[in-house]
Structure 1
Amino acid sequence: MSRLSLLFTGIVFITSCQAPPERNCSNFKTGKFSFATTIDGKEKTTTFIRSEDREVDFFEGKQDTSSVRWINHCEYVLKNLNPKNKAEEKSIHIKILTTSDSSYTFEYNAIGDKRKFKGTAFKTH
């Protein structure tokens, strides 16, 4: 029995010593980024430029501007400044989950919608 206890304690110790995922969110508050997603089986890329309080998105030749409101260092809300339909009126909540030197993985959803999606944005400048 003591061997089993020792093994269990060792496993708990090893797994608890793993470093948490890196989250240097301040490195991604501003800059130029790209994000690819699959829509109807085709990969589509959005590029966007974000300042502290604005984000300008470029997608399929169209440009949209949103306000950026930071909730904390790793979460923010986007609100489209010129919505063209009801869906574009909904604000988007974005939470940065992990970061690397040149990218961040995030989770996002329309506020009020329980469905959450994940993506990775790459800093291009």
Structure 2
Amino acid sequence: MKNIFLLCILLLLTSCFEVERNCADFKTGEFEFDYIIDGVKKTGRFIRTEDLSINYYDGKIDSSSVRWINDCEFILKTINPKTNAEKDDMHMKILSTDGTSSYTFEYKLAVKKRNKPLRAQRGVAYRIK
């Protein structure tokens, strides 16, 4: 009986937790994020407006159109793709926010490829302006 009571208290306390998601604060701005390629940690930067994202990474500049699904989700479509991989649209989702300084996001292909698993990756973007 004592164990059931403790379990109920634990469930009650953990069910009250709500993740902060002020996604509208991160629709536009300049951000940085870290990523790893071949075991090497690198930093990328992007500037996002309501309908455009300019990405700076690995000495390259890439532009994508932004189509917002709701305040927390959007689709990125590369404007001038150079490879078949760049033709694939990306689905971005803001999972949580930390005040106005950073947000945790998840990204994956917008359309699942046939006979391949749909992998979702996570990252953190930090506001720099």
TM-score range, shorter chain: over 0.9
**Structure 1 length-normalised TM:** 0.92
Structure 1 residue runs of 5 or longer lacking an equivalent are none
**1-structure distance, mates of 2:42, 2:8:** 47
| Counterpart code for 1:84 | K
The 3-state SS of whatever aligns with 1:23 is coil
| Counterpart code for 1:15 | T
Deviations 1:64-109 (CA, angstroms, capped at 9, x unpaired): 1100000011000000000001000000000000111201100101
The 3-state SS of whatever aligns with 1:85 is coil
**1-structure distance, mates of 2:24, 2:96:** 12
What's the % identity of the aligned pairs? Answer: 48
**1-structure distance, mates of 2:63, 2:28:** 15
* 1:8–1:61 distance in 2 versus 1, CA, 3 Å: closer
Match of residue 89 from structure 2: 91
Alignment of 1:70-81 (within 5 A): 70-81=68-79
Match of residue 115 from structure 2: none
Shift of 1:46: 1.2
Structure 2 residue runs of 5 or longer lacking an equivalent are 113-117
**Structure 2 length-normalised TM:** 0.89
| Counterpart code for 1:99 | T
The 3-state SS of whatever aligns with 2:53 is strand
**2-structure distance, mates of 1:40, 1:4:** 48
1:13 aligns with 2:12: yes
Shift of 1:53: 0.3
Deviations 1:15-69 (CA, angstroms, capped at 9, x unpaired): 2222x11111111000000111111011111111000000001112221110000
Match of residue 123 from structure 2: 119
Q: CA RMSD in A?
A: 1.2
Shift of 1:124: 0.3
| Counterpart code for 1:13 | L
| Counterpart code for 1:122 | Y
Shift of 1:117: 0.3
**2-structure distance, mates of 1:7, 1:17:** 16
